[in-house]
Structures are given as C-alpha cells and as structure tokens.
Amino acid sequence: MSTSIATKTATKTLRGIPDIRLFFHRNETPIYFVSATNFNLLGIDEWVRHFRFISYIDCFDGQHPHVISPSEIPHRPFTSIEDINNYLLEHKEVVDLIRKRSQDGKAGKAVFLFFDEQTEELCRQLGLEVCFPPAKLRQEIDSKIMTTRIGDRAGIASVPNVLAKIGSYAELREKTGHLGDDVVIQTAFGDSGHTTFFISNEADWDKHAEEIKSDPEVKVMKKIRCRGSAQEACVTRHGTIVGPLMTELVGFKELTPYRGGWCGNEVFAEAFTQDVRNKACDMTFKFGEELRKLGYRGYFELDFLRDLDTDELYLGEVNPRVTGASAMTNLAAFAHADAPLFLFHLLEWADVDFELDVADLNQRWSDPDNIDNWGQLVIKHTADTVELITSAPESGIWELNDDGSIKYVRMQTHRRTVESEKQGFFLRISKPGDYKYEGADLGILITPGRLMTEDFELNDRARAWTEGIKSHFVSRPVPAAETVVAEQVAEAGNFKLM
C-alpha cells in the first residue's frame, strides 16, 4: 500500500465531501508539486496541509510561503519541463529539503506537470512516490494519434480525418482527397501552436514538409470553422469526475505569435447551451472510462472542437495531466463549495477508502448556477526580437484604471482577493535578467468577467489588460557580445511551460 496522505491513524472510510476536505486539512505527508512554476496548481496548498511547490522560477520573489526555488547552479540548457524537473530533483538544496521534511523515514509524494522515466528514477532514489500513472503510459496516451483511436473506441467522434504516414504533397492528396482541398495536419506530439499545420496548396506543404514527413504517422483533418473548448476531469475508482466546460482563447496575435496556439481560457456558462454542456460532459466521462480500462487514473483534460456550420461537437486532443487551465478549474466557485478537482486526483494515491457519488457531483458541477465567470490571458512576447528584460511587473493584484493603464495594488498568491472586473491577479513568469524572445511566456492574468466578445474576439478590456501588462516589461536591445548567448537561450527556451 502507498504511504498515507493523512495522519497515521486515519483508517476510516471517507464518506463524502466533508470527510475528504477534513482528510486533507489534517494531512501529515509532505507533498510536492515540482515544475517550472507553481501556476498550474495555484491555491492547492491552502487545501492540503504540508503541500509545497518546488519551482525553478520564483514568480513571487521569495514572498510565497510555500514556494521553494533553489539557487541557480550550472546546468545544461533546458529543452523541456522534464529537464527542469530533473535538474530540481538533483539539486542539493532540494534533496536536503526533502530529507529534512521526511516523516518516519518516508520522503512523501510528488506531482508534476510533465515528467519522464529519468524523473521517476530520481524520485525512486529520493523515496518519493510519483502520484501519476507511469510516464510511459502518459506518453502513449498523449499522442494525438492514440487520442483519436481511444475516442473511436469510446464512441466519441473526431473531425473527419485520416491517420497515415505522409511523405509528399502528392501522397497527401491521394490519401486525403475526400477531406477537401483545405486540411489541417497534426503530428503525434507537441504543442498545438507549434505542431499544427494548415495546408491548402503545395506552397503550404513545402513550408512544413520536413516536420510532417519525419513522423511515422500524422493526423490529417478536414478543415472546419470551429471554436475550441476544454474540459478537465479526473478518473477515480468510482468513475470519472468532470469539471466545467471552458472556452479557449486561441491564436490571438496580441497574446501569442503562434497561429492556433492556446493563449487562455474563459469559464462562462452562457457560452454554451445546456445541451452542449451535457454532451461534452458525457463525452469526457466516456473518454475517462476508456482511459481507466488502459490503467490510467487521475487528472486529464479534453479539448473539443465545435463546428460552427453544423454545431457538431468533436474530440480534439487529450492532455493526460494537469494543464494551463487547471488554475481556472481548481479555483472556481464550485470547487470552493465542494473541493478542487485535484484533491480527487490525490485521493487516488492515498491509503484510504472513500465513497463518492460521482453522478451527483457531475450534475452539480455542470449546473450554470454553480459556475462563476472568470478568464485568463496567457501573455507571450509576440515580436520577432530578442531583448534583455531590465524591469518586470510583480505578481499580485493589479487594477485597471479608467484610462486603460494599470497599477499594482498588493502582493497575493492567487486570485482569491480580486474583487471586481477592474482587478486581476497577475503571475509573472519572465523576470529582470531574462531574455524576451518570440514566444517567451511573460505572465498570466486571471480576472473575473468575460475576455471575449459575443463573436469570440478579444474584447476591449482584455486588450487593455494585455497592453497594460506588457507596458510594465522594460527591456533593452541585446549587445553584440551577448547575441549568440541570447539566441541560444531563446532557441532552447522555446518550449511549453504550462
């Protein structure tokens, strides 16, 4: 059996939400979220006693009581979050901290955004239990090809597609001609902003041919007019718990340089009819149950594509992990009324029995009366330049002035004390001394109310927040002597942080 997440004397069956909440408030086992930042699990430390964030980037300049960010030591250039996590787990300050906080010779438990088999081995050496399915299984499920096939088995429709090896433009047209002249090609792995290609003619093909041909199998989809949405869920022993359906902000040039790149979310009940919410919930539940057959348990997120011409809802892709939308799900009003979705993930690795009416919880969480309206903007540097940041806005509560400028109000660790649509919580990612390059994450703003118009374009308030945050990043051109280093940092650092 796994190490108990609660007190050593807790042996009774947890019966419902009140018991589950109390269980985590009394937790004695150290639990760590190891990642580049603490963004994905903002606020979980207030629900789980002895929960700590081990972060490479200290977004709070030492002011967050539960963020541990070790001093920088020489390392190879990072090319992924897995590299960052492995660096952290080998860092002497982190190793010493884990040993110091061990209980009865047990180091505790660890959760991650991304991890690989090396991460698992480092955790084994430290005595940490990884509270996620094995990296190998997650990698298999994360494939967009595998996602499509899992959906097919679960009876969940994807956009009309062909899964095949494509070696030339002629072969593309031969194998996928029935999908139409305009197609969308996705490689098996990677951030959709980098690995989704829109092909209408041979010139489009030539731009991306090498990336497409290098994959043993790609997904070629009919191009549709669509709108993206996302839904997080958790596979438990009692069934799949489903969070609220969220709209996605995708490809806005003010926020991201990547066409098709994710750049935020809205939790806005009126964005969907109850029929659409019910259908998405049913699809997510069925997908989760199919994952359970594969041995997967815990947190995951599904992306959906809604065809604006037919109103059909299609499966997009799966993220078998916490995601960039997790802070929205776990800090929502329904989560405070019951419990954050991530607590049910931790329960799957707890040495305790629990009873839970999953159907009742899913019905309650899909009720629009239980959904409050919030949105988040993921703000990247969008210009094709490399500059050195000399000043950056602090994390905390900011306020939007009537003239469109913004001002800093106070330090805060998440959005809890944001009082109106004129306020927002900003989490800074890039700090003074960092290079600002195309695609670099500057920070995330979370604020109540809508960020898009009825036509799903950025509204004036979202643009004012974006421009206001960017105006507080001051940078200078990189001197010639630093150019090579800066370009290497930009090339190595251009990977998904969240």
In-domain check, residue 90? yes
Which pLDDT score is estimated for 368? 85
Are 360 and 330 part of one and the same domain? yes
277-299 pLDDT, tens per residue?
999 999 999 999 999 999 999 99
Average pLDDT, the chain: 92
User: Could you tell me which of 114, 51, 53, 52 has the C-alpha nearest to residue 86?
Assistant: 114
What distance in Å separates the CA atoms of residue 201 and residue 365, rounded to the nearest whole number? Answer: 45
Does the pLDDT value for residue 234 go beyond 70? Answer: yes
Which pLDDT score is estimated for 191? 63
Are 105 and 180 part of one and the same domain? no
pLDDT average, residue stretch 18-22: 96
The β-bridge partners of 452 are 458
Are 299 and 241 part of one and the same domain? yes
What distance in Å separates the CA atoms of residue 233 and residue 448, rounded to the nearest whole number? Answer: 22
383-393 pLDDT, tens per residue?
999 999 999 99
Q: What percent of the chain has pLDDT over 90?
A: 80
Are 216 and 239 part of one and the same domain? no
| DSSP assignment string, 207-253 | HHHHHHHTSSSEEEEE---EEEEEEEEEEETTEEEEEEEEEEEE--T
Which pLDDT score is estimated for 8? 42
pLDDT average, residue stretch 459-468: 97
What distance in Å separates the CA atoms of residue 140 and residue 366, rounded to the nearest whole number? Answer: 30
- Quick one: tokens of 123? 């955790």
Contact between 487 and 438 under an 8 Å Cβ cutoff? The reply is no
What distance in Å separates the CA atoms of residue 196 and residue 185, rounded to the nearest whole number? Answer: 6
313-330 pLDDT, tens per residue?
999 999 999 999 999 999
Residues, the chain: 498
pLDDT average, residue stretch 171-199: 88
| DSSP assignment string, 381-432 | --SS--EEEEE-PPSEEEEE-TTS-EEEEE--SSGGG--STTEEEEEE-S-T
Are 306 and 323 part of one and the same domain? yes
23-39 pLDDT, tens per residue?
999 999 999 999 999 99
In-domain check, residue 7? no
pLDDT average, residue stretch 38-65: 97
Are 342 and 382 part of one and the same domain? no
Are 242 and 257 part of one and the same domain? yes
| Cβ count near 455 (within 10 Å) | 6
Domain termination residue (choose one: 178, 205, 222): 222
| Number of domains forming the structure of the chain | 4
pLDDT average, residue stretch 8-21: 80
| Cβ count near 62 (within 10 Å) | 8
Are 216 and 253 part of one and the same domain? no
Which pLDDT score is estimated for 5? 52
Domain termination residue (choose one: 131, 149, 168): 131
Are 384 and 486 part of one and the same domain? yes
As a dihedral over the C-alpha atoms of residue 348, residue 155, residue 113, residue 359, rounded to 10 degrees, the angle is -40
Which pLDDT score is estimated for 192? 55
pLDDT average, residue stretch 48-66: 97
Does the pLDDT value for residue 51 go beyond 50? Answer: yes
- What pTM was estimated for this model as a whole? 0.91
Confidence of residue 173 (pLDDT cuts 50, 70, 90): very high
Q: Is 24 helix (H, G, I), strand (E, B) or coil?
A: helix
Which pLDDT score is estimated for 273? 87
407-452 pLDDT, tens per residue?
999 999 999 899 999 999 999 999 999 999 999 999 999 999 999 9
List the strands of the sheet with 31-35, edge to edge: 67-68, 51-55, 31-35, 108-112, 128-130
Contact between 257 and 216 under an 8 Å Cβ cutoff? The reply is no
pLDDT average, residue stretch 47-64: 97
Say what angle helices 81-90 and 92-100 make with each other, to 10 degrees.
60
Which pLDDT score is estimated for 7? 44
68-85 pLDDT, tens per residue?
999 999 988 898 999 999
Confidence of residue 493 (pLDDT cuts 50, 70, 90): low
Are 214 and 238 part of one and the same domain? no
181-194 pLDDT, tens per residue?
999 999 998 765 57
Which pLDDT score is estimated for 1? 37
Domain of 339 in residue numbering reads as: 227-367
Which pLDDT score is estimated for 487? 66
In-domain check, residue 389? yes
Which pLDDT score is estimated for 486? 66
Question: Per mean pLDDT, which range of 99-113, 155-169, 260-274, 302-316 is the poorest?
Answer: 260-274
Contact between 199 and 183 under an 8 Å Cβ cutoff? The reply is yes
Domain termination residue (choose one: 116, 131, 146): 131
